[in-house]
Amino acid sequence: MPSFPFKIVGLDLDGTLLDTSGDLTAAVNHALASAGRPLLTVEQVKPMIGGGARHMLAQGMAATGGCSEEELDVLHRRLLDFYEANICVMTQPYPHALDALDRLAGMGVTLAIVTNKLERFARAILDTLALTPRFAAIIGGDTMGPGNGKPSRKPIDAMIQRCGGGTAAFVGDSIYDVAAAHAAGIPAIACRFGFLMQPVEELGADAIIDGFDQLIPVLERL
């Protein structure tokens, strides 16, 4: 039997490993309500997720009338404070995700998280769900310094280094994920079930999965 082709598999967090849409929508709506704006549905917020909290809120404000940078600064702080206090109320792993992680770990694959969420928030969620010990590296949107979240290759390069080096693949749901992986010279797998900003076929990923039950067979074919 041929050996598994990847020593490292990295995953995005929001819309990939975890469905965080309920808690993120609650945080966006808390900020919107404080500014007297109409609230958004989970389905409206999902395409706004992926570029970090400020980017998500800016889109929410644009959808409800726009705002100045100064107002966005204030509301961003409110969103972060609310989210930190309510970070894992509805958040759960996607179906079959933990089974896939177990199987990969059983094959000796090193696992990592690379997200554009602030690292402390990513760690808080993973701690709450008792998932932190599964990952050799957890890299947030702020870990590599300002301006170095995905689509920069820097967090992917850091992931590979922190996981000991070797062949790697990355799993995500946004153009940021695919662009970062490709910039770092590794294949990208896109999740059709994620928080898509555009049709998944337009992301340019090397493969697409409809669920985590497809991940390992897809990785084996890459």
**Positions marked catalytic:** 12
- Complete DSSP assignment for 33-77: HHTTPPP--HHHHGGGTTS-HHHHHHHHHHHTT---HHHHHHHHH
Distance in angstroms (rounded) separating the CA atoms of residues 18 and 132: 13
CA dist., res. 180 & res. 157, Å (int): 9
Torsion sign (Cα): 131, 132, 136, 140: positive
Specify which residues 188 forms β-bridges with: 170
Angle of helix 21-34 relative to helix 69-85, nearest 10 degrees, comes to 130
Q: What are phi and psi of 8, to 5 degrees?
A: -130, 135
- Which two three-digit tokens encode residue 206? 């090397």
